[in-house]
Amino acid sequence: MERTFLMLKPDAIQRGLVGEVIGRFEKKGFKLVGLKLIQVDRALAEEHYKEHKGKGFFEPTVQYIMSSPVVAMVWEGKNVVAIAREMMGATNPANANPGSIRGAYAMDISRNVIHGSDSVESAEREISLYFKPAEILHYAKAGEEWLSE
């Protein structure tokens, strides 16, 4: 089963959106297999955003992600990476579908509520940054058999 990494950013925490956003993924039918509230330090922030090093938004992004706790999550399900990206909406909330998470809750590209892996490979890398293998649970979710073939 495919896995993705999602992170509720500092603005989501400060605005009390954790339950709202998690609820969307639960209602979709995905299985939450890893969850933690953490304070990101500089080393983790720089490693997470390393592909953007040298770009003008790198330092403000690193500072922002360290500014408040975040909720790091691992979700599991069929096509979860692509579907989660669709559920999140465009990175710039001005371009996001109003029904998406960013379309509904975010107002600014630099405060866009949620991060999600953009590929299975990115998900694997990001999950390994935030979770030890033992922190990802394996369990049967009631009703899974009714979600897909």
Average pLDDT, the chain: 96
The answer on pLDDT for 146 being more than 90 is no
Summarize pLDDT for 40-94 with one digit per residue, the tens. 999 999 999 998 999 889 999 999 999 999 999 999 999 999 999 999 999 999 9
pLDDT band, very low/low/confident/very high, at 149 (cuts 50, 70, 90): confident
Annotated binding site: 9, 57, 85, 91, 102, 112
pLDDT for the residue 93: 95
Half-sphere exposure of residue 51, counting CA atoms within 13 Å on the CB side? Answer: 5
Which two structure tokens, joined as six digits, stand for 17?
A: 């959106």
Active centre residues (catalytic): 115
Instruction: List residues forming the annotated binding site for ATP.
Output: 9, 57, 85, 91, 102, 112
**Helical ranges in the chain per DSSP H:** 10-14, 18-28, 42-48, 58-65, 80-88, 101-105, 120-130
36 confidence band (pLDDT: 50, 70, 90): very high
Would you call 118 helix, strand, or coil by DSSP? Answer: coil
- CATH no. of 1-130: 3.30.70.141
pLDDT mean over 33-42: 98
